[in-house]
A and B are shown apart, each in its own frame.
Chain A
Amino acid sequence: MIDAIFTYEFLQNAFAAGIIIGVIAPLLGVFIVVRRLSLIADALSHVTLAGIAGSLYLSQSVAAFAMLNPLFLGIAASVGGSILIERLRSLYKHYEELAIPIILSAGIGFGAIFISLAQGFSNDLFGYLFGSVSAVSREDLFIVLGIAVVVLLFIFLFFKELFVLSFDDEYAKASGLPAKWIHFLFMIVTALVIAGSMRIVGILLVSSLMTIPVAAAMRISKSFKQTIWLSILFGEFSVISGLITAFYFNLAPGGTIVVTSILLLLIVIGYKKVSVSMKKGAVA
C-alpha cells in the first residue's frame, strides 16, 4: 500500500485530500451537530449535486465548461444554497426547518433534470455520488487544501463566538456578539466543506463525515474541546481505513468510510454502556 502511494499520483491525491477532509469535516461537524443543523449539511450536499450535474451537462455543450472543474460550480451551488436556506429560515421564522426540505428537494430536482438532459456521464456521476479513490486530481487536492485553510482560519478566529452561539444563541445576541454575521459565515464555510468533501466521500454521504464521528465523540467526551479532538480522531480513522479498504477491494470510498465510522460509533456506544454498568456495579 505504501509503495502504491509513492507510485501513483491519484493515490497521493486521494489520501492527502482524505486526511485534510478527515480534519475539517468533523471539526465543523461538531458545531453543526450541537447547533442541531445536521440536516442542513444534507440539504447543501444535494444542492452541490445540482451544481456538479449542471457543470457536467454544460461541459457537453459549452466549450468553456469543458475546461472547468465541476467542483467550482458545485461550490457555487452549495454557497448559493446556504444563502437561500438562511433567507428561507428568516422568511418562515416559526417554521425554520421548512428551509431544509425545500432546498434539498430543489437540489435533487435540478440535479435530476441536468442528469436526464445529459447522457453519458454515469461513471463521473457515480464518483460524485459515492466518492472515488481514482478521481481525485491534483487540482481537486489544491481546492480541498484552500477550503481547509479557510475553515481553520474561520474556526481559529471565531472559536469563542461560535462556542457561545452554539450553546445559547439568545445569550450570544444579548451579549452583543455579531451572531447574525458569524452564523452567515458559518453557513458559507459549511457549504465549502461539503463541496470539498464530496470528491472523497460522495455527495450522498458527505454529511455523515460531519455527524457520525461527532456522535461517537459526544458519547464519551467530558468537554467541548475534547469533543472536537475526539471527533477529528474518529474522522481521521474512518477516512484512512475507509480509503485503504476501498483501494484493496475496489469499492466506493464513500461507502467504506461511512461504514467504518458507523462501526466506530457502535464500538463507542458499546464501550460507554459497559463502562456505565461497571460504574453502577462498583457503586452497588
Chain B
Amino acid sequence: MDAPLINIKDISFEYEQTKALENISLKVEEGDFLAILGPNGSGKSTLLKIMLGLIKPTQGSIELFGVDAKNFKHREWVGYVSQKSNSFNSGFPATVEEVVAGGLAKKSGLFHRLPKDYKALVHQALVAVGMESFSGRSVSELSGGQQQRIFIARALVAKPKVLILDEPTVGIDHQNVQSFYNMLASLNRDQNITLVLVTHDVDTVTDKITHVACLNQTIHFHGFKDQLHTMSDAQREAWYGHSVRKIHHIGGVHSHD
C-alpha cells in the first residue's frame, strides 16, 4: 500500500510555554481535498507551518511521502500558498511571469539556471489558474484574487503533488471567493493534486472538499466531510467552544465567530 502523502504522528507544539497543538495525528492521502477548520487561535496555521518544515514541533514527527520530513529531499512536491497579507512584498517591481517562474527555483537546484522551457511551464501554470493573459503585467497592479491565483500558479509550476494553502481567500472580495474555490476543486479533480486548506469559508468550501479536520489545539474530528454530522454536540462544543450549528443538507457545520 502507498504511504500517505503527509503523515503527522503525535505532534505537539508549545510557543513560549503555551500549548498551541497537542497530540495531533493526521494522515493526508493522495487525492484528498482536506479542509482544516477551527476557531481563531486553534493552531491551524501552526499545523500547516509544521507540515511545511517552517517550524519544528516540540514533540512528534512528520513523514512526507513516507520519508521523515527531516530527510525529505523533494520539497518541490509540496506547493505552498500563504495568506497574501502575511507574506508577499506588495509593490515589488516584478511581472507575473517572473513571479511564477520563481516557483521553479527549488526544482532547478542551487547554482543552476531556470530550465530552457521555463516560459512554457509558466504559461501552463497560468492557464491552469485562468491567468495566461496576465503574463507581462506587473504583479502589484493585480487585485487580491488575481494575485492569489498567481501564487497558486507559482506553486503549480513545479508540478507539486500536494498543495498547502493557508487561508488563501483573505483579502479576496466575496464574489470571487466562489470562483476561487471552483478553481481549487478543478485542480483536485482534473489534475489529481492533493489539497490541504486552512479556511474560515465553511459555507463556500464544504461542497468542494472531500475531507475535514476539526482542530482546536487537538483534532476533534478527521474524516470524510459526509461523516461530520456524526460528531456529538459535546464534541462540537469542545471543538468550537460555542455557536456551531448543523446544516443537514451538506452534513457539515456552519460556524459563527
Contacts and interface: CB of A to CB of B under 8 A. Distances in A.
Given A160-B105, A221-B93, A167 B53 contact: no
A218 B88 CA distance: 17
B53 A175 contact: no
A163 interface: yes
A120 interface: no
A170 interface: yes
Interface in B148-193: 151, 154, 158
B98 A225 contact: yes
B92 interface: yes
B114 interface: yes
A222 interface: yes
B63 interface: no
Interface string B85-97: 0111100111100
Main secondary structure of the interface of A (DSSP, over half): helix
Report, as a range, how many residues of chain A touch the other chain.
20 to 34
Interface in A148-184: 157-158, 160-161, 163-164, 166-178
Interface string B42-81: 0000000000111000000000000000000001100010
A174 B53 contact: yes
Contacts of B104: 160
B31 interface: no
A161 B103 CA distance: 10
Given A176-B75, A224-B95, A171 B82 contact: yes
A227 interface: yes
A44 B171 CA distance: 37
Nearest to B108: A160
B106 interface: yes
Nearest to A162: B105
Contact of B80 (A157, A175, A224, A225): A175
Interface in B80-131: 80, 82, 86-89, 92-95, 98-99, 101-106, 108, 110-111, 113-114
B138 interface: yes
A160 B95 contact: no
Nearest to A176: B75
Contacts of A168: 82, 87-89, 102
Contacts of B86: 170
A217 B93 CA distance: 10
Interface string A221-243: 11111110000000000000000
A197 B104 CA distance: 34
Contacts of A178: 110
A169 B102 CA distance: 12
B75 A164 contact: no
B102 A160 contact: yes
B88 A176 contact: no
A172 B88 CA distance: 11
B114 A160 contact: yes
A163 B102 contact: yes
B173 to A, nearest CB: 22
Across chains A and B, which 8 residue pairs bring their CB atoms closest together, nearest first?
A176-B75, A174-B80, A224-B94, A164-B102, A174-B52, A160-B105, A223-B95, A227-B93
Interface of A: 34-36, 157-158, 160-161, 163-164, 166-178, 217-218, 221-227
Interface of B: 52-54, 75-76, 80, 82, 86-89, 92-95, 98-99, 101-106, 108, 110-111, 113-114, 136, 138, 151, 154, 158
13 contacts: A34-B89, A160-B104, A167-B89, A167-B99, A168-B88, A171-B88, A175-B105, A218-B93, A222-B93, A222-B136, A223-B93, A224-B93, A225-B98
